[in-house]
Structure 1
Amino acid sequence: MAKKRVPKYAHHKPSGQARVRIDGKDIYLGVYGSQESHQRYSELLGEWSRSNSEPIKDVKVRELTHLYIEHCKIYYRKNGEVTGEVANIKSAVRYLNQKFRNLLSKEIDTLKLEAVREHMIEADLARKTINCHISRIKSMFKWAANKKFIDKMVFLELTTLEGLKEGRSMARETDAVIPVPESYIAAVKEYVTSPIWTMIQLQMYTGMRPGEVLQMRACDLVMSGDVWEYHPQSHKTQHKKKLRIVHLGKHAQELIKPYLTTDLQAYLFSPLKGRAEYTSKNYRDDAKAFVRNDRRRYSSQGYYIAIKRACESAEVPHWSPNRLRHNFATNVRREHGIEAARVLLGHSSAVTSEIYAEVDIESARAVIAKIG
């Protein structure tokens, strides 16, 4: 009997469509890479799998990783867009594929998973990153067991591999995250564009995560009273149904006002404005700024790289925008206590009642009114 092969999500380049071949017939799924095409592929794959009376037992590692990533593109979504976790999963399974891509998935055991982990150590990944990547690989095998691609005992064996302990492996340890020295922040001012510098200052005044400041829009602002509110359209704990309100004092408001326009849906900080400023400063007068049409706002990577390059130009140690939250937290905790810092950063411990939530918000507004 011929071996059953898993139908693959493929790109039909002449038409730009995604397609899958099932039982010798090509089925077109929609625009290649779109959410609709991945959703349709997942549905067809499920139907195909159920139509086969016997579970698929000979899925190779490269095929399994392909199928799992397609599943993740549907599962890990927020506001209709794929989240960053998919990129993390791709990075994790890449190391597995580099070692065992042609091996059958059912042949992966703890010794082989340890070999993958050693491969990560040789690639100089940090210990915490390695542990997260190994957990992602285990999750893939759990999914595969539920889909009957492998026997559940394969997954159960992999769960017995413990994570790397601090100081007990050759994996690189990372330094504790500390606030950015104020001199390092001030040093990059002349090497970044106005939108980038404004976002840096906003993080300092509000404790926003980089992703939150990048996606600011006028329609997400409540501009009434002494303290404004910003409700991010997407945030880290959204999938847990947690409320995230960023409070904006007078200094933050003054930073935002020049970027407000009549287009309430537009992102406040546009790469087009930043690129135009950079071009006028560094090129001839008639030079035109080029920005891709889909760059309506800065990406997290673009923001990170802009700061990195500015640090290099200013000849100061590189720092990440994520660390600016630590600056804010340190200042708030010193002046107003740890509870104020917890509320303003959007952290929570246990599920609280609506009454406590209201007290938290009022407390946050009072602190921000003093900080600015």
Structure 2
Amino acid sequence: MPKLTQSLPKYRKHKASGQAIVNLGGKDHYLGPHNTRASKIQYDRLVSEWLANGRTQISQADDTGAISVVEVLAAFWKFAQVWYVKNGVQTNEVEAYKLVIRDIKSLYGDTPAVEFGPIAFKTVRQIWVDRGQARSTVNKNGGRLKRIFKWAVSEELVPSSVHHGLASVDGLRAGRCQCREAKPVLPVAIEVVETTIQRLPRVTADMIRFQLLTGVRPGEVCGMTPGCISRDGEVWESTRHSTTDEAEPCSLGQTPKRF
């Protein structure tokens, strides 16, 4: 008569993916990143169900340890809407990530996130190439895709091997791909600027003159207030308003702006 055992299936590490794994009734079940609290809770749940089922194999529907790509995308989307905010307003990155997420989801939404590797990356990237995007735009979107899964690693949603695989894919290079090159953005002729200033309201015209004199960005000049400018000496300096006792250098360069 064979010897009966009361030992439980082992909580193991799957070396290829870095995920925790347990074999129940001859079937492997992925539990999530190895040695995390979430994976151990998943292990306890699956083993308990397996024991309650008379130590027989549980159904595929019960195997929820492997998070899908669409679940990663949904979690990142919630994060992005809060993180990519400046002065209380969402930045353009939110809309950019929305488009990237849409394309990933359309091809790999139901795929286990642990299986999203370099080939999947290149397949999604080809969508952007076929769409006629400039090489610089394709590479920016590729960087966004990598950041999604890098964030997922930091949240222990996927093993670090997923991001390492994606990071191995180089960006497209000029002359070595099918992408078009973006046209250079040239400055507006100063004559056009001066003619336009004459037709603008006084405050807007002064903001443009300030930009011409100092080289600040539009967002920086829009965020300035009279309190940002120190006019004690012959040379004025810009400082950024702070809730602390001392004013901080304004974000118009590495040092206070002098004009």
TM range (shorter): 0.5 to 0.7
The alignment status of 1:53 with 2:61, answered yes or no, reads: no
Deviation at 1:119, TM superposition (A): 1.3
The alignment status of 1:89 with 2:90, answered yes or no, reads: no
Letter in 1 for 2:42: E
Contact 1:221 1:230 in 2 (8 A): yes
The residue number in structure 1 matching 2:111 is 103
Residue identity (%): 27
Contact 2:103 2:124 in 1 (8 A): yes
Root-mean-square deviation (CA), in Å?
3.3
The residue number in structure 1 matching 2:165 is 157
The residue number in structure 2 matching 1:71 is 79
Letter in 2 for 1:124: G
The Cα offsets for residues 56-111 of structure 1, whole Å up to 9 and x where unpaired, read as 64433332122113223444555666555444433433332343334332332222
Question: Structure 1 residues 244, 145: CA separation in 2 closer, same or farther (over 3 Å shift)?
Answer: same
Contact 1:126 1:173 in 2 (8 A): yes
The alignment status of 1:131 with 2:119, answered yes or no, reads: no
The residue number in structure 1 matching 2:56 is none
Letter in 2 for 1:95: D
The alignment status of 1:142 with 2:150, answered yes or no, reads: yes
Contact 1:212 1:232 in 2 (8 A): no
Contact 1:57 1:150 in 2 (8 A): no
Contact 2:39 2:65 in 1 (8 A): no
Letter in 2 for 1:123: R
State the alpha-carbon separation in 1 of the partners of residues 191 and 176 from structure 2: 36
Question: Structure 1 residues 152, 161: CA separation in 2 closer, same or farther (over 3 Å shift)?
Answer: same
Question: Structure 1 residues 78, 184: CA separation in 2 closer, same or farther (over 3 Å shift)?
Answer: closer
Contact 2:197 2:208 in 1 (8 A): no
State the alpha-carbon separation in 2 of the partners of residues 88 and 146 from structure 1: 21
The secondary structure found in structure 1 opposite 2:237 is strand
State the alpha-carbon separation in 1 of the partners of residues 234 and 189 from structure 2: 30
Question: Structure 1 residues 144, 245: CA separation in 2 closer, same or farther (over 3 Å shift)?
Answer: closer
Question: Structure 1 residues 195, 129: CA separation in 2 closer, same or farther (over 3 Å shift)?
Answer: farther
The residue number in structure 2 matching 1:201 is 209
The alignment status of 1:213 with 2:221, answered yes or no, reads: yes
State the alpha-carbon separation in 2 of the partners of residues 108 and 167 from structure 1: 28
Q: Which has the higher helix share?
A: 1
Contact 1:166 1:173 in 2 (8 A): yes
State the alpha-carbon separation in 2 of the partners of residues 114 and 108 from structure 1: 11
| Larger CA Rg, structure 1 vs 2 | 2
The secondary structure found in structure 1 opposite 2:42 is coil
Question: Structure 1 residues 170, 184: CA separation in 2 closer, same or farther (over 3 Å shift)?
Answer: farther
Contact 2:135 2:179 in 1 (8 A): yes
Question: Structure 1 residues 61, 192: CA separation in 2 closer, same or farther (over 3 Å shift)?
Answer: farther
Letter in 2 for 1:229: E
The residue number in structure 2 matching 1:270 is none
The alignment status of 1:224 with 2:232, answered yes or no, reads: yes
Contact 2:70 2:110 in 1 (8 A): yes
The Cα offsets for residues 143-162 of structure 1, whole Å up to 9 and x where unpaired, read as 22333322332222212211
The secondary structure found in structure 1 opposite 2:41 is coil
The Cα offsets for residues 184-207 of structure 1, whole Å up to 9 and x where unpaired, read as 323434664444333222211110
Q: Structure 1: any 5+ residue segments left out of the alignment?
A: 1-48, 235-241, 247-345, 348-356
Q: Which has the higher strand share?
A: 2
Of the three residues 167, 173, 180, the one matched with 1:172 is: 180
The residue number in structure 2 matching 1:334 is none
The secondary structure found in structure 2 opposite 1:231 is strand
Question: Structure 1 residues 103, 190: CA separation in 2 closer, same or farther (over 3 Å shift)?
Answer: farther
Q: How does 1:265-280 map to 2 (within 5 A)?
A: none
Deviation at 1:213, TM superposition (A): 1.0
State the alpha-carbon separation in 1 of the partners of residues 192 and 105 from structure 2: 40
199-208 or 141-150: bigger deviation: 141-150
- What is the aligned length? 198
